[in-house]
Amino acid sequence: MVKDKDKTKEQLVNELAELRRRTAELERSDTQHKRAEEAMGESEASYRSLVESARDVIFTISTEGTITSLNPAFETITGWSRDEWLGKNFKSLFHPDDLPFIKEIYQCILKGEIPSPNIELRILSKSGEYVMMEYSIKPQTQNGKAVGAFGIARDITERRRSEDQIREQATFLRKEIIERKQVETQIREQAALLDKAQDAIIVRDFDHCLIYWNKGAERLYGWTAEETIGKNTNELLYKEESPRLIEAQKSVMAKGEWTGELHQVTKDSKDIDVESRWTLVRDNRGKQKSILIINTDITEKKKLEAQFLRAQRMESIGTLAGGIAHDLNNVLTPIMLSLQMLNEKLKDEQGQKLLAILETNAQRGANLVKQVMSFARGIEGERNVLQATSIITEIVKIANGTFPKYIEIRTDVQKDIWAISGDATQLHQVLMNLCVNARDAMQFSGILSISAENFLVDENFARMNIDAKAGPYIVISVSDTGTGIPPKILDRIFEPFFTTKEHGKGTGLGLSTALAIVKSHSGFINVYSEVGKGTSFKVYFPATTTSETQKAEEQLLELVTGHGELILVVEDEASISEITSSTLEAHGYKVITAEDGTQAVALYAQNMDKIKVTLMDMMMPVMDGQTSSRAIRRISPEAKIIAVSGLTDEDRLAKVADYSNAFLPKPYNATRLLKTIHEVLSAE
């Protein structure tokens, strides 16, 4: 019994302890709850303070679309008070065009889904303008069910305005870049077209400074655009400021344009003539900007015009001479007849002597008239197929019998010489006149050389000779080692009655008659002379067409070509230098040119490792070909040199062998030029 009572007491103690423990827990829990309520209150106050002070709009919306809360930022951004919109449907705030998208977003929220972030929508401000806002919205859920939406909206109006400005600027810049590229493309296309032009196109400012220089200018003058841009035009292209240049500069400024001919120089100091057209260029506002110059090379045209005018002058003189000869015949005829009658009546010695003198001089006058008629009318005569060998043989026979013994006569006729069609008597007269002139040029000693060979005239050669046509010719050369012809009178030697011989020793009709006969045979004459060294006349006659000549013409199509070897062409005659260079370039060679010996030696020294062959004209100003060749050989003893000359006597050829590898006689065609270079390059 006692034990049960004790047990009950023990139980009571335990229950009391448990009660106390639970009471303590309740007290502790109540304290924690109070603390939690206090913390929650503090957190809610912090949250409310954060919401109230935020610059972005913070809002909540019910599932029906009613606005349930708005922070003060809403009033700042939109101008509306919160009370004006709390409890109202949010859709009325947005731009009508954005409503379909808003409906789609809200449907997503009602499903408890989170829409895409950074949604941009336009909200109506109290002023009636729309403000662009960027939204971030999340659904509010309770027990897994959506009970509304919570969102934050930021005013991005200024940002969008800045972005729009940036986009506009970017669009403007892109447009400008596109337009600039289009302009640059047009400029490049125009420049490409200008570069294809054969004419030299130049633009310079009013201080003569070069602004533009096309490929045509590079080809004509030899300077590249890089070498000329920024340089003074007058210093570059003119030796001196001529009256014509001064006229061009004044006229283009006064009238806006000028056209005329100007004399200029190239990079190689070669003289050229150009037809120049100047135009004043203005900018969009009409202000004078620059001068456009277009130059056309007319150097060869001027030379051809000079030849043509000379031919016309010769024709006019011929017509005049023909008329005079006709009148002289009328005067001489009664004299000759009277002499015959007086010869029968005057039998005394004195009378017979006077009559002999009269008859001799009358006959001389008749022969003179005959020469004039030959020159003036180009006596046709009878045409037959002839061999040059027989005519040369006859001439040599006469020369050996009549010329002084101190003159040595040499001949060299090609074995398979082609035939020609002509009048034997007239051709005999041509060669005899040339031989007599050669004799008179050698007063005390000398060598008269007569040679004949086959020659193919190609298109390049024909360009250098106005009377030549492409095809087979034979060329008969009459050369002497006499006094030579001064350059200043070389162009006049074929004029009728022009002579350098003493009075009474020459009529001045020998060469003019020879030229008239040669032209009547469709031929032409070239002359090469060097004062103190001699003269060479080369007479060209068209060869008659045979199987041999046809075969020779076909050989023109089988020319030996180069493989990029550099050739130095030294020639003071611009037309010969130009055509020689174009021929070599057209057949695989590279070319640099010099117009005198000094320039040739300088160019060789600069390019000695590249130049494979030097084509050296023997007769040049400043330094002749022989001296230049020896100077080049001193620079490089192994230098390959081809001597070029129109004088071909054997003594000269022997001297050439001392300082050159081969000899190329002028004039030469493409076949002979290319063959000679090929042989020199191929030789060990």
pLDDT tens across 455-483, in order?
A: 888 877 787 777 888 888 999 999 999 98
Tell me what the mean pLDDT of segment 56-73 comes to.
88
pLDDT at residue 1 in the model? 44
Mark 342-358 as b/e (b = at least 16 C-beta within 10 Å): eeeeeeeeeeeeebeeb
Domain extent at residue 234 = 197-297
Share of the chain above pLDDT 90, in %: 11
What is the value of pTM for the model shown?
0.43
> Does 568 have pLDDT greater than 90?
yes
> Does 155 have pLDDT greater than 60?
yes
Residues 90, 226: one domain?
no
- In single-letter form, the type of residue at position 34 comes to K
76 contact partners, CB below 8 Å, separation of at least 6: 55
Strands lying side by side in the sheet with 67-70: 67-70, 57-62, 145-155, 130-142, 119-124
Q: What is the CATH number of the domain that holds 662?
A: 3.40.50.2300
Round the average pLDDT of the chain to a whole number and report it. Answer: 80
Q: Which residue carries 């090379």 as its tokens?
A: 297
Give the pair of three-digit tokens for residue 268: 């190689």
Residues 489, 365: one domain?
no
Q: With helix as H, strand as E and coil as C, how does 485-543 read? A: CCHHHHCCCCCCCCCCCCCCCCCCCHHHHHHHHHHHCCCEEEEEEECCCEEEEEEEEEE
Look at residues 334, 361, 377 and tell me which one is the last residue of a structural domain. 377
Please report whether residue 122 resides in a domain.
yes
pLDDT at residue 364 in the model? 64
- 664 confidence band (pLDDT: 50, 70, 90): confident
Total structural domains within the chain: 6
Residues 118, 219: one domain?
no
C-alpha radius of gyration, the chain, whole number: 54
Backbone angles phi, psi at 670, to 5 degrees: -60, -40
In whole angstroms, what is the distance from residue 469 CA to residue 669 CA? Answer: 12
**Do 474 and 514 meet the contact criterion of CB atoms below 8 Å apart?**
no
In whole angstroms, what is the distance from residue 56 CA to residue 52 CA? Answer: 10
In whole angstroms, what is the distance from residue 545 CA to residue 531 CA? Answer: 39
In whole angstroms, what is the distance from residue 42 CA to residue 416 CA? Answer: 131
In whole angstroms, what is the distance from residue 391 CA to residue 385 CA? Answer: 12
Give the pair of three-digit tokens for residue 673: 């030029």
Burial of 372 (0-12, 13-18, 19+ CB in 10 A): buried
Look at residues 353, 377, 401 and tell me which one is the last residue of a structural domain. 377
In whole angstroms, what is the distance from residue 222 CA to residue 603 CA? Answer: 15
Residues 530, 435: one domain?
yes
Quick one: CA torsion of 299, 301, 307, 312, rounded to 10 degrees?
A: -140
Q: With helix as H, strand as E and coil as C, how does 288-336 read? A: EEEEEEEEEECHHHHHHHHHHHHHHHHHHHHHHHHHHHHHHHHHHHHHH
Please report whether residue 176 resides in a domain.
no
Which one, of 548, 544, 553, lies nearest residue 522 by Cα?
A: 544
- 388 confidence band (pLDDT: 50, 70, 90): confident
Q: Tally the C-alpha atoms within 13 A of residue 442's C-alpha that lie toward its C-beta.
A: 24
- Residues 595-641 have pLDDT tens digits of 888 899 999 999 999 999 999 988 887 788 888 998 999 998 889 99
In whole angstroms, what is the distance from residue 438 CA to residue 649 CA? Answer: 13
Give the pair of three-digit tokens for residue 456: 């193919």
Please report whether residue 477 resides in a domain.
yes
When comparing pLDDT for 503 and 452, which is higher?
452
593 CB neighbour count, 10 Å cutoff: 22
Parallel, antiparallel, or unpaired for β 271-282 and 288-297?
A: antiparallel
Question: ∠519-524-529 over CA atoms, to 5°?
Answer: 135
- 381 confidence band (pLDDT: 50, 70, 90): low
**Do 585 and 593 meet the contact criterion of CB atoms below 8 Å apart?**
no
Instruction: Return the bridge partners of 213, or none.
Output: 202
Please report whether residue 183 resides in a domain.
no
The kind and range of the H/E element at 273 are: strand 271-282
Backbone angles phi, psi at 443, to 5 degrees: -85, -35
Q: Tally the C-alpha atoms within 13 A of residue 225's C-alpha that lie toward its C-beta.
A: 13
Name the packing angle between helices 349-377 and 510-520 (round to 10°): 40
Give the pair of three-digit tokens for residue 342: 């007086």
Task: Give the CA distances from residue 182 to residues 174, 196, 484, in Å, rounded to whole numbers and listed in that order.
Answer: 12, 21, 66
Asked which of 370-379, 396-405, 454-463 is least confident by mean pLDDT, the reply is 370-379
Please report whether residue 168 resides in a domain.
no
Residues 366, 405: one domain?
no
Residues 362, 271: one domain?
no
pLDDT at residue 479 in the model? 92
| Most confident range, picked from 9-18, 25-34, 658-667 | 658-667
Please report whether residue 63 resides in a domain.
yes
Residues 535, 426: one domain?
yes
**CA terminus-to-terminus distance, the chain:** 152
Helices (H), 378-423: 388-402
In whole angstroms, what is the distance from residue 561 CA to residue 374 CA? Answer: 45
- In single-letter form, the type of residue at position 626 comes to Q
Residues 278, 328: one domain?
no
- Residues 273-325 have pLDDT tens digits of 999 999 998 877 778 888 989 998 888 777 777 766 666 666 666 666 666 66
Parallel, antiparallel, or unpaired for β 119-124 and 130-142?
A: antiparallel
Q: What is the CATH number of the domain that holds 265?
A: 3.30.450.20
Please report whether residue 169 resides in a domain.
no
Question: ∠283-284-289 over CA atoms, to 5°?
Answer: 5
When comparing pLDDT for 649 and 470, which is higher?
470
Eight-state DSSP code of residue 202: E
> Does 174 have pLDDT greater than 70?
yes
pLDDT at residue 641 in the model? 92
676 CB neighbour count, 10 Å cutoff: 21
Residues 409, 523: one domain?
yes
Question: ∠223-228-232 over CA atoms, to 5°?
Answer: 125
In whole angstroms, what is the distance from residue 399 CA to residue 536 CA? Answer: 17
Please report whether residue 191 resides in a domain.
no
- Residues 500-559 have pLDDT tens digits of 665 445 556 678 778 888 888 889 998 888 888 889 999 999 988 666 666 655 555 456
pLDDT at residue 504 in the model? 47
- Residues 319-352 have pLDDT tens digits of 666 666 656 666 666 676 676 667 767 778 777 7
Strands lying side by side in the sheet with 210-213: 210-213, 200-204, 288-297, 271-282, 257-265
Coil, helix or strand at residue 422: strand
Strands lying side by side in the sheet with 534-542: 407-413, 446-457, 471-480, 534-542, 524-530
Give the pair of three-digit tokens for residue 609: 């490792």
Residues 588, 664: one domain?
yes
Look at residues 316, 350, 377 and tell me which one is the last residue of a structural domain. 377
Residues 678, 628: one domain?
yes
Residues 574, 675: one domain?
yes
Which one, of 604, 592, 658, 595, lies nearest residue 631 by Cα?
A: 604
**Do 462 and 469 meet the contact criterion of CB atoms below 8 Å apart?**
yes
